[in-house]
Every structure is written in C-alpha cells, then in structure tokens.
Homo-oligomer: A and B are copies of this chain.
Amino acid sequence: MKKIINDPDNFVDEMIEGLLKAHPEELRTVGDDLRELVRKDAPVKDKVAIATGGGSGHLPIFLGYVGKGMLDGVVIGDVFASPSAQQMYNVTKEIDSGKGVLYLYGNYGGDCMNFDMASEMAEMDDIKVETVLVTDDVASSPKGEEEKRRGVAGLVFAYKIAGAKAAAGAELEEVAAVTRKALSNIRTMGVALSPCTIPQVGKPTFEIADDEMEIGMGIHGEPGIHRGPLKSADEIAETILAAIFEDGPYTEGDEVAVLLNGLGATPQEELYIVYRKVAEILNDKGIKIYRNLIGEYATSMEMAGMSITLLKLDEELKDLLDAPADTPFFSQANIR
C-alpha cells in the first residue's frame, strides 16, 4: 500500500481536519463530531435543506458538494462504510430551516437503513424529510429492477439539480419532484482498470490482471457485468454508451449533459480521449451535448478507470444545471 498518510486509523479524521483548515469560512462541524459537516451558514433561512452522506474515499463525493447552490450537510463514514443514523439526525436538525430536508444519497444498504432511521427521528421532531435515492448505475441491476441499482457519479447531477431548485426557494415536494425527474433521465456506467486500497485494510479491494478491465464495476469494487481484455478507449466508449442507450431515454433530437468522470488514477488526457469518441457517438445519434463536465467528480481513491454519465435535459433542467453553485470542490465553472 503506497499512500501519503499517517496512521491509517486516522485517515478520515485527518482528511476532514485538513478540509476544515482549508475551508474554514465555508464548512463547519455540528458540535465536535468531525463526521458531521454543514455549510458554515446553516441553516439557510427559508430554504429546503439537502443532506447527503456515505462512506469516505470518493472525493469530491460526498462532502465536496456541500456549499452554495448544492448541499447543506453531509454525514461522513469510514472509508466505504456508512455513517450512523444518529449522525444523520444531528446534521438534519442543524440544517433544517423549517422548510424540510431532502435526503439525497446513493442506494447502498447501510446508508439506506441509517438515513431511514434518521428520518424517523427527525419526524418525531416535526422536521419534514423526503428521501430521493440515486440509482444511476446501469451495470448494477437489470432493466425493470432500477430501484436496486447503486448510486454512482450521477449523484453529482442530482446534487446540482436539487441544490439549484432548493436555492430558488422551492418547497420540499418540488425539490424532490424535480430531482426524481432528473434521475429518471440519468444513467451511468463505468470501467475499472485497477483496484484501490482501503487504508485500514492495507490490501487492494480486488485483483485484476495487468491486461484486463472490468466494465460496470462499482465504485467500491462491486462486480461489474464483464471482465475481459483491456480494450481501446473508443471500444470502451462504444460499449458503455450502447448499454446506456439500451437502458435510458436518449433519442435523436435530445439534449444531454455529459459527465466524464475519472475514478482516481486515470489522467485527464485519457478522459479527453474518451470524450472525443463520446461526442462522436452522440453526434452520430443526433443527440446534442448541451454541457460537459470532464474530471474527477466521484472517485475510488487511487482506482484507475472512468465512468460516463448522461443527463437528458429539458428547459427546466437546463436552467437548474446552469444556476450558480460554489463549494470548495465544485463551482458552476466546472460545467462547460
């Protein structure tokens, strides 16, 4: 394991300590628990609050999207492990302005259980909570069983849309509704070339040969849909987009936003080589790229690989995508 860290047991807390030293005007903890982070100015008056959370190891997911035009609070677990219901509840109380709280997170067992418990605790305090699960990973469950799918890079689009709607003063039900609409238009699939190592475990999360790749692997190393020889960038783009097209609502004349996300160790040069083919395929299909995001938005530490996410847009979603956002890890300038 080759990492620039101190004691592996302190990986998450020291990362958060660094974060708080770097962005003291933007983020703060709830009480003295480093794992409960909120916007410095929370609760934001007359605004629906948005909370997310999950395991560490995916920066900028999750905590990187807390800030203006995006999220209000985040609950941080150990690497690839869910935070607790009590922590989620604490963040919920801290960010609620009276207008209610949207729980917006990826569909993983531990997170679902704990956020559900937290929402019950919050409701006993008369805090309104709505939950929207992100289930964008096409590879994680077949068509017809979309509700079983994992949430991956599509979280970024979901945060952006929900955050913009909340910032515009919408009610909780409206924020939830437009986020669900966006999610019905979002599909992601990825490819992994190498594993990552959980600091406290000290060995790679899986093994993969030097000449292999795995299409559809999850961001914690969950099995994908095909392991085979490493293909070319163009072939990988074709394979992934074919699966996304077969599954999702993308047809000629549509406008989409494309998120080309690096998983950690894959250089930006390679993302642009893939984007070249993605743009060509979408153009051939008569689908217009309205906006693109190319970079590391949802990672697995030092895993090599990338994912492609499409968000089909209508006028409302375009406006929300283009609304201001500013967090320590993300701003509107990332959306080109």
Interface residue? A223 (CB, 8 A): no
Judging by beta carbons under 8 Å apart, are A5 and B275 in contact? no
Which residues 49-86 in A have Cβ within 8 Å of B in the complex?
56-57, 59-60, 64
Q: List B contacts of A279 (CB < 8 A).
A: 18, 21-22
Closest to A234 in B: B6
Interface residue? A331 (CB, 8 A): yes
Roughly how many angstroms separate A194 CA and B3 CA in the complex, as a whole number?
10
Judging by beta carbons under 8 Å apart, are B275 and A11 in contact? no
Q: How far is the CB of A234 from chain B (nearest CB, A)?
A: 6
A5's partner among B12, B232, B294, B334 (CB-CB below 8 A) is B232
Which residues 77-105 in A have Cβ within 8 Å of B in the complex?
none
Roughly how many angstroms separate A304 CA and B265 CA in the complex, as a whole number?
8
Copies of this chain, how many?
2
Interface residue? A19 (CB, 8 A): yes
Closest to A232 in B: B6
Judging by beta carbons under 8 Å apart, are A269 and B233 in contact? no
Roughly how many angstroms separate A61 CA and B302 CA in the complex, as a whole number?
21
Judging by beta carbons under 8 Å apart, are A275 and B22 in contact? yes
Interface residue? A124 (CB, 8 A): no
CB-CB nearest 6 A-B residue pairs = A331-B333, A18-B272, A18-B276, A265-B265, A21-B279, A59-B268
